[in-house]
Structure 1
Amino acid sequence: MSAVDTPAAKATLRTATGREATRWVRAHCREVPWLASTTVVSTVAGAALQIVPVLLLGRVVDGVVDKESRSVLVEVGVLMVAAALLGAAVTGLSTYLIGRLGADLLARLREGAVRAVLGLPSARIEQVGRGDVLARVGDDVAVLSKGIRTAIPTVFSAGVLVAIATAGMFGLDWRLGLAGAGALPAYALALRWYLPRSAPLYRKQRVAQADRAQALISGLDGIDTVRAYRLESAFGEKVTRESWRVRELGIEVFRFFGRFVGRENRAEFIGLVLILVVGYALLEAGAASLGEVSAAPLMFHRLFTPLGAIMFTFDEAQKSGASLTRLVGVVGEPAQERLVGDASVAPARAVPYQVTVEGLTFGYPDTEEPVLRDVGLTIPAGGSLALVGATGAGKSTLAALVAGIGTPQAGSVHIGPHDLAELDEAGARALVTILTQETHVFSGPLADDLRLSAPEATDAELRDALGTAGAAGWVDALPEGLRTLVGEGGERLDGTKVAQIGLARLVLSRSPVVVLDESTAEAGSEGAAELERAVLAACAGRTTLFVAHRLTQAMAADRIAVLDAGRVVEQGTHDELVALGGRYARLWRAWREGS
């Protein structure tokens, strides 16, 4: 479906709750028990070793006060140095293991998300828009990957260190521990204020970024149509509007985090004052030694570094958490129930089928008005029909429904004797082949790329299909012909050649009905006429529905249907509609002037 023809539906892929994401992480940690347990043990050991020098420092103070021998002080000093070095080594090991565990989880999540997207029904992909899909398997994976390398190890290690240091203060004296714990209510209030507000805000920011990506994709994919209908300003304003929304949310996130930092600083001040006051009172009463009273504020101050690390990386951790819930949500999307349909619905011989559309009404979720209203069309077996109309008229939506992508709220689409509503998606693929402007060339030999639509095709059949698509000349000139590597890391192909590969796949598919949705839009003007001839050759003998990107394509069709606001307002041949002087005639004049 052409992005420029799709309404701005607000439907998105599901987002998991925090509990669902946590359960997913726990389940996958249980699949690598040795790595997970070693990570936890090394993190706890590293945190414990980091507070040992502070405790020993209190011992040094008491030793000086009690005038113990110098050898005892030297011994304590050696222990402090050994604990610091060992703590650094174990902390380094912990950081490595956290990164390794995170990388393993990310790899599993990435594979699961991509597998889930590939298993989604085409209608679901069209419903949510490619911007949301690409943002999840692209941007969200990148955000989570960065978080796993930086923020998540820091937050986890620092959190364990905070717990160990707090226990250490209670080990010095329970009253000093309670004094330090007096800061906990302030910390808790700060987190209680921050957490419920931050996660939705970060999710909102990620959704805004996905909407901006969708707006950019829509404009770029349909750039020729946008120019033809003089919609540059409208699409420019849309991209600008979405970009400003992302900017405003970014500023809001920054301000929000700054307020959180201020609340954390107040909690640190409260805790330090309480420890100093209680420590002085205990020392005056002779209830605690000078070493214990000296070590307590140092121990509490030792919390500042991990707490500061948590604060300054919590922003990144929250972003990672938001991306995690979006990715786990994708994994939880219901997949296509049956990927292999019944091929018997296709005709035994390569004969065309009539296409009949009756009373078709369709609307996207969360939209008030339907995109298509009571549409009725008939394409005779072996005939061709071109759909034209302004952007948003419903052309691509109608083409997708004829191809079996989506289910109408009313009406029906029949391919020969078959009602598409009674077939699964794979069964519809046996009857209809849809070719859009988004043809992708996969990395590998050209022959393998072509056999995606006909796995059993011989090399001779591949060459015949390439000849029909007008690609035989440049393919024969390739270094290794059909065995030449194409795509990423191989022979780079321009837009015209990519479109010809798509047409060759179309020829090999042998389906009785063909839907072409702006399939030559990515080709340059030099290859447009050649591609239009190749399209007619590839569709010869098959029932064909065109979404006309160039009105010269509409001229070549047997009949033309003009859509306006989801309704068919005109039908006829090119000459009949020009002579009528209606909407098609105005589009034709605008097209000629734009060209």
Structure 2
Amino acid sequence: MKGTDPGVASATLRTASGREATRWVAAHCRQIPWLTAATALTTVAGAALQVLPLLLLGRVVDGVVAEESRSVLVTVGGLMVAAALLGAAATALSTYLIGRLGADLLARLREGAVRAVLGMPSARVEQVGRGDVLSRVGDDVAILSKGIRTAVPTVFSAGVLVTIATVGMFGLDWRLGLAGAAALPAYALALRWYLPRSTPLYRQQRMAQADRAQALISGLNGIDTVRAYRLEDAVREEVTRASWRVRDLGVEVFRFFGRFVGRENRAEFIGLVLIVVVGYALLEADAASLGEVSAAPLVFHRLFTPLGAIMFTFDEAQKSGASLTRLVGVVKEPAADRLVGHASLAPADAGPQPVTVRGLTFRYPDTEQPVLREVDLTIPAGGSLALVGATGAGKSTLAALVAGIGTPQRGSVRVGPYDLAELDEAGARALVSILTQETHVFSGTLADDLRLAAPEASEARLLAALRTVGADGWVDLLPDGLHTLVGEGGARLDGTKVAQLALAKLTLNDSPVVVLDESTAEAGSEGAAGLERAVRAACVGRTALFVAHRLTQAMAADRIAVLDAGRVVEEGTHDELVALGGQYARLWRAWREGG
């Protein structure tokens, strides 16, 4: 059985807790002990050397008051200069090592997250929405990368410096140390007020950004369908609503952070006033030297810079923390939801297989109304069926279920003798290939890209597949033919050529059933006719289901099914449905008038 049941699995990818994310970071730090240890040691050394000149300054003041020899003062001054130089060098090295450590952790996390996403069944990806997936492996990685370069080194180094400076104040005089430490409860109260409220707020912001990405992706992917059915205003409203949500949360985050800054300034004022008052009292009682009393405010003031750095980068650190929990959550997705199994079927020997859909009802998680209701369809072996209907009618959901992506709550999808619900994803992929408009050309040679569909294919077979879909002409003009680099850094291919490559890979695949979900939508009208011929050629000898965004594609199918609100309301040939004068006939008239 498949590992993911959309009826019970979470409708979003998992988000780890802060403790779980911390454990992940600690576990990976233990795998690189020398880099971790060097980072910690240089950070502590840099912080200590930055505080030492301030403590020595108190020694200079006491030396002047006691009229010590000039050589002693020069020696102390030299030590101050040396400490400052060594502190700067140690701090620079610490910043570099923190960046190296962070980059190593980010690389491991990004690799794990991408591997987890690639290993998920297609049903899981469709279930959570591609916007959520892309925002995690895209936006969250970018935010965490920026945080590792800026906020994380600053917060870590500043935190160590605050600790060392606090210890230094106690080293001057325990009473001065207590006076400075009295400000810590005010800092702690500010953080205690801020942290529990800000973390959920940042997560809401990241989720809102994922929703906006999903709205944009859905609208752009189905742009031709949106235009054909006059749904531009509805899509625009959805994108606008998602964008306003992101904006409102951004304003709320900024306002909330401003209140946190006010609480931090209050804590600084409390600490400085207490140190000055206690220092004056100790000096009047002759319980402390002038040097100690003079150095204490300077050491406490030295805390302002790191505390201010923490405060003003905490916003970025919180964003990084929220992205970290989302990425670790992807890595920690339950193993049962990963792609398992091997294709043990031999569909190529069996020839085309019929597709039978009976009583199919499907509902997405966290929704009350089914997307599909009691759908019955049959596609004879070697035949073709086109699905048409307005956006939201359930076409893509039905196509995904026929491709084995997802499991219906009721009913069944059978390919020949096989019930897809009883197969793992590898078995389903052996029976059904799906091609959507989200086609990609991977970086490498053209032959390597094609062999993703048939790793053992000879060059002759690759060229035959290209010839089938009409791509051999422009491939022959490439400088190195099949060995030409394509994708990122390679030859640029327009939408029509990319669609032809996707169809060539479909031709190389041996599955007896193919599902095409608006697979030529991105090619544009210029190459539409040629691509429709290529689609028909790629589907020869196989059972085909089309989600038609152009009604000319529907005309070419053996039969057409019209979906409305998750139900099949009409079914027949093009001529039969036009003669019927129903919903398809109205769509056909609108299509001809719009064209």
Match of 2:231 in 1: 231
Matched residue SS, 1:592: helix
Match of 2:25 in 1: 25
User: Which residue does 2:84 correspond to in 1?
Assistant: 84
Deviations 1:103-159 (A, max 9, x none): 110111111111111001100100111111111111111111111111100100000
SS in 2 for 1:349: helix
Verify the 8 A CA contact 1:120 1:336 in the aligned structure 2.
Answer: no
Q: CA RMSD in A?
A: 1.4
Per-residue CA deviation, residues 243-273 of structure 1 (Å, 9 max, x unaligned), is: 1111111111111111000000000101111
The separation in 1 between residues aligned to 2:252 and 2:10, in whole angstroms, is 22
In the TM superposition, what is the alpha-carbon distance from 1:334 to its structure 2 partner?
A: 2.7
Distance 1:335 1:443, change over 3 A: farther
For the pair 1:594 / 2:580, whether they are aligned, the reply is no
In 2, Cα distance between equivalents of 1:149 and 1:281: 45
SS in 1 for 2:522: coil
Call closer, same or farther: CA 1:439–1:350 in 2, change over 3 Å. Answer: farther
Determine whether 1:572 maps to 2:572: yes
Are 1:387 and 1:548, in contact at CA under 8 Å, matched by a contact in 2?
yes
- Check whether the contact 2:447–2:482 (CA below 8 A) recurs between aligned residues: yes
Aligned to 2:327: 327
Q: Give aligned pairs, total.
A: 588
Shift in Å at residue 443 of structure 1? 1.3
Deviation at residue 341 of structure 1 after TM alignment: 4.2
Map of 1:354 onto structure 2:
354
Deviation at 1:469, TM superposition (A): 0.6
Q: Distance in 1 between matches of 2:383 and 2:245?
A: 47
Other-structure match for 1:136: 136
Q: Secondary structure at the match of 1:414?
A: strand
Given that residues 338 and 424 in structure 1 are in contact (C-alpha distance below 8 angstroms), is that contact kept between their aligned partners in structure 2? no
TM-score, structure 1 normalization: 0.97
Q: 1:348 to 1:301 in 2, by over 3 A?
A: closer
1:492 and 2:492 matched? yes
**For 1:396, what is the secondary structure of its paired residue?**
helix
Which letter maps to 1:531?
L
* Contact 1:121/1:335, CA 8 A, preserved across alignment: no
User: Superposition pairs for residues 111-260 of structure 1, below 5 Å?
Assistant: 111-260=111-260
- Residues 192/258 of structure 1: CA separation in 2 closer, same or farther (3 Å cut): same
Q: 2:347·2:510 contact (CA, 8 Å) conserved in 1?
A: no
Whole-angstrom distance in 1 between the partners of 2:387 and 2:38: 63
Check conservation: 1:375, 1:568, Cα contact below 8 A: yes
Distance 1:339 1:251 in 2: 41
Structure 1 residues without counterparts, runs of 5 or longer: 1-8
Q: Distance in 2 between matches of 1:163 and 1:173?
A: 16
| 3-state SS, counterpart of residue 560 of structure 1 | strand
Q: C-alpha distance in 1, partners of 2:273/2:487?
A: 65
Q: CA offset at residue 342 of structure 1?
A: 4.6
For residues 304 and 337 of structure 1, do their structure 2 counterparts lie closer, same or farther at Cα, with a shift above 3 Å needed? Answer: closer
DSSP-derived class of the 1:157 partner: helix
Q: Which residue is equivalent to 1:377?
A: 377
Contact 2:121 2:338 in 1 (8 A): no
Deviation at 1:338, TM superposition (A): 7.2
* Segment drifting more, 501-510 vs 305-314: 501-510
Structure 1 position 44 matched with structure 2 position 78: no
Match of 1:527 in 2: 527
Structure 2 letter corresponding to 1:123:
A
Question: How far apart, in 1, do the equivalents of 2:247 and 2:348 lie?
Answer: 57
Q: Is the 8 A contact 2:353 2:415 kept in 1?
A: yes
- Amino acid across the alignment from 1:172: L
Task: Tell me, in whole angstroms, the C-alpha distance in 2 between the residues paired with 1:449 and 1:437.
Answer: 17
Q: Show the counterpart of 1:11.
A: 11
* Partner residue, 2:263: 263
Q: Distance in 1 between matches of 2:450 and 2:179?
A: 73
CA contact (8 A) 1:350 1:510 kept: no
**Which secondary structure does the structure 2 equivalent of 1:345 belong to?**
coil
- How far does residue 447 in structure 1 lie from its aligned partner after superposition? 1.3
CA distance in structure 1 between the aligned counterparts of 2:339 and 2:562, rounded to whole angstroms: 35
Q: Distance in 2 between matches of 1:52 and 1:445?
A: 59
1:235 CA displacement = 1.1
Post-superposition Cα deviations, 1:340-385, rounded to whole Å, max 9, x if no partner, equal: 6454433352511110001111111111111011111010111111
Q: Which residue of 2 aligns with 1:501?
A: 501
* Partner Cα separation in structure 2 for residue 192 and residue 312 of structure 1: 17
Post-superposition offset of 1:63 = 1.0
1:416-445 per-position Cα deviation (integer Å, ceiling 9, x unaligned): 000101110010111111111111111111
How many angstroms apart in 1 are the aligned matches of 2:334 and 2:90? 43
Shift of 1:587: 1.2
Alignment of 1:283-298 (within 5 A): 283-298=283-298
Aligned to 2:4: none
For 1:217-247, what per-residue CA distance to the aligned partner results, in whole angstroms no more than 9, with x for missing partners? Answer: 1111111111111111111111111111111
Q: Give the 5 Å matches for 1:404-415.
A: 404-415=404-415
C-alpha contact (below 8 Å) 1:121/1:336 kept by paired residues: no
Q: Distance in 2 between matches of 1:38 and 1:321?
A: 23
* Partner Cα separation in structure 2 for residue 337 and residue 328 of structure 1: 16
| Structure 1 pair 459–16 and aligned structure 2 pair: CA distance change class (3 A) | same
Task: Decide whether the 8 Å contact of 1:563 with 1:570 is kept in 2.
Answer: yes
Give the AA of the match of 1:24. Answer: W
* Counterpart-to-counterpart distance in 2, 1:442 and 1:71: 71
- Asked if structure 1 preserves the Cα contact closer than 8 Å seen for 2:136 and 2:323, the reply is yes
Q: Does the aligned pair in 1 maintain the 2:120–2:337 contact within 8 Å?
A: no
Q: Contact 2:120/2:339 (CA < 8 Å) preserved in 1?
A: no
Amino acid paired to 2:150: T
